[in-house]
C-alpha cells in the first residue's frame, strides 16, 4: 500500500507525447490544453481559488519540438502528487484523458525514483531472478507454451512432460487457458507440476511452470494464490486484459511474473513504452512481445526498442527479461540470439508443438540456443 510521499509536491514526472494538433490549433495552445487535462482539469481560474492547488499542482509544458510529418513532440512536467496515490492514478496522470485526443500518442515516460520506491514498482525478481530460478544457463532461456485451450489437464501435462524432457527452461500456459471445465486451474497446475517433477527426475533440471491467471480481480488473486500453493513456479498474466494495477498486485505471491501482450496492441501507446516500460514498471519479470519475422508485422527497430526499454537503467528498477514470441521458430534461434543476446527468453510455441517428436524438437531448440551463445564468444 502506497503512503503519501514527503516529496510528492516537489518531485515531478515527465511524459512525452507525439502530437498532431487539431486543424487550426497552434501546438502551443494544444500543449497547454494537454497540460490542463493531465493536471487540474478545470479552468485555471478555478484552480486559482485554492492556494495549494495553484502552488503545487499545475505542472508545466517543458518542451515542444518538431517531430516530422506535421507532428510535434510535447514534453510535460507533471507533479507526482496525484500520480503517487496508487498505480491506477499513475497511469491516469501519464495518459488518462490525453488518450481521448486522437492525435496524441504516448511515446515516453520518466517516473522519479521517489515514486518508484514508495509505490514498490517494478519487477520483484527481474530478469536475473528468473534466470536464477532456471539454473541460470549461459544462453537465452528457452520457453514454450501449453496449448491449445480445450486440452484436458492430462493432455496439457503430457505436452509439458515431453517439452521438459527436451530441456525447455520455462513452460507457460496459453493465454486462453483460464477456468474452462476441460482443464480447471487447480487440476492443470497439479498435473503439469507433477509432469515437470517426473521429467526432472530424468533430466536433473526442473522446468519452470507459469500458469495463466485470468478473471475478475478477486478470481485472479485467489487463483494466483492457489496456483502457487499447488506448485506453480511463476505466473502468466495479460495486464491489459485484467488491468495494469492487477499486475502490480500479483507481485505479492513471491514468484516471477510473465506479462502477455493480449489487448495491449489496441493502443495508442508506443510498444516500447507499453510493453517495455509500463509492463516492467507495474511488475513484470519477463515481457512477452510479438517478435519480428513472425506472425505479426513488426520491425527489427521496434523489437529492439522494446528490449531496450525492458532492460535499460530505470531508477532502482530491475531489468525485465525480453521475450520475443508469436511465430518464433527453432530454425531462427541463432538469428534471435544475434538480436537479443543471451539475456532474453525465446518463446517458441507452434513450431515446437507441431513437431512429430516434441522432446527432440525442444532439445534441438536448446542446442541451437547454446550453439548461438557459444558463437557469440570472442
Closest to its own copies by CB, 181 or 313: 181
Least CB distance to its own copies at residue 124 (A)? 14
Pick between residue 158 and residue 197 the one whose CB is nearest to its own copies.
158
End-to-end CA distance of the chain: 48
**Using CA atoms, how far apart are residues 275 and 378, in angstroms rounded to an integer?**
32
Q: For residues 316 and 322, what is the distance between their CA atoms, to the nearest angstrom?
A: 18
* Closer CB to its own copies, 51 or 68, in the complex: 51
Rounded to the nearest angstrom, the gap between the alpha carbon of residue 171 and the centroid of all alpha carbons in its chain is: 17
Q: Which is nearer to its own copies, 106 or 164 (CB)?
A: 106
As measured in angstroms, the least distance from the Cβ of 316 to its own copies is 20
CB of 94 to its own copies, least distance (A): 9
CA distance 285 to 300: 22
How far apart are CB 300 and its own copies at their closest, in Å? 16
By C-beta, is 88 or 200 nearer to its own copies? 88
Least CB distance to its own copies at residue 56 (A): 7
Question: Of 37 and 110, which has the nearer Cβ to its own copies?
Answer: 37
CA distances from 92 to 23, 85, 172 (A): 26, 11, 31
Please give the C-alpha separations between residue 332 and each of 136, 139, 329, 339, 365, in angstroms, as whole numbers.
22, 15, 5, 11, 9
Least CB distance to its own copies at residue 21 (A): 10
Q: What single DSSP character describes residue 230?
A: T
Residue 132 has which C-alpha cell?
536464477
Structure-block grid coordinates of residue 98: 490525453
Is the sign of the CA dihedral 258, 262, 265, 269 positive or negative?
negative
Amino acid at each position: 500500500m502506497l503512503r503519501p510521499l514527503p516529496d510528492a509536491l516537489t518531485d515531478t514526472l515527465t511524459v512525452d507525447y507525439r502530437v498532431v494538433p487539431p486543424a487550426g490549433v497552434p501546438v502551443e495552445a494544444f500543449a497547454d490544453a494537454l497540460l490542463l487535462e493531465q493536471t487540474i482539469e478545470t479552468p485555471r481560474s478555478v484552480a486559482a481559488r485554492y492556494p495549494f492547488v495553484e502552488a503545487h499542482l499545475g505542472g508545466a509544458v517543458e518542451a515542444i519540438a518538431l517531430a516530422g510529418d506535421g507532428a510535434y513532440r510535447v514534453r510535460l512536467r507533471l507533479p507526482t502528487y496525484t500520480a503517487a496515490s496508487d498505480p491506477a492514478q499513475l497511469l491516469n496522470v501519464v495518459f488518462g484523458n490525453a488518450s481521448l485526443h486522437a492525435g496524441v500518442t504516448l511515446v515516453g515516460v520518466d517516473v522519479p525514483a521517489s515514486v518508484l520506491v514508495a509505490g514498490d514498482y517494478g519487477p520483484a525478481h527481474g530478469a536475473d531472478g528468473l534466470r536464477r530460478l532456471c539454473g541460470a544457463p549461459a544462453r537465452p532461456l528457452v520457453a514454450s507454451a501449453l496449448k491449445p485451450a480445450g486440452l484436458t489437464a492430462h493432455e496439457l501435462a503430457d505436452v509439458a512432460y515431453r517439452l521438459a524432457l527436451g530441456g525447455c527452461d520455462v513452460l507457460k500456459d496459453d493465454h486462453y487457458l483460464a477456468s474452462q471445465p476441460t482443464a480447471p486451474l487447480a487440476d492443470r497446475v497439479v498435473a503439469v507440476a507433477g509432469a515437470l517433477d517426473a521429467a526432472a527426475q530424468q533430466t536433473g533440471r526442473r522446468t519452470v511452470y507459469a500458469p495463466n491467471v485470468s478473471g475478475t480481480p478477486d478470481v485472479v488473486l485467489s487463483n494466483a494464490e492457489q496456483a502457487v500453493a499447488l506448485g506453480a513456479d511463476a505466473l502468466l498474466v495479460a495486464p491489459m486484459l485484467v488491468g495494469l494495477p492487477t499486475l502490480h498486485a500479483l507481485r505479492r505471491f513471491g514468484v516471477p511474473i510473465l506479462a502477455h501482450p493480449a489487448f495491449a496492441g489496441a493502443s495508442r501507446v508506443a510498444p516500447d513504452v507499453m510493453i517495455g516500460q509500463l509492463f516492467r514498471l507495474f511488475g513484470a519479470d519477463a515481457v512477452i512481445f510479438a517478435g519480428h519475422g513472425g506472425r505479426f508485422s513488426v520491425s527489427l527497430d521496434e523489437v529492439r526498442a522494446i528490449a531496450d526499454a525492458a532492460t535499460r537503467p530505470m531508477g532502482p528498477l530491475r531489468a525485465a527479461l525480453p521475450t520475443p514470441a508469436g511465430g518464433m521458430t527453432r530454425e531462427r534461434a541463432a538469428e534471435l540470439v544475434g538480436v537479443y543476446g543471451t539475456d532474453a527468453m525465446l518463446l517458441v510455441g507452434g513450431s515446437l508443438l507441431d513437431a512429430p517428436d516434441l522432446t527432440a524438437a525442444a532439445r534441438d531448440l536448446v542446442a541451437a540456443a547454446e550453439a548461438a551463445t557459444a558463437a557469440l564468444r570472442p
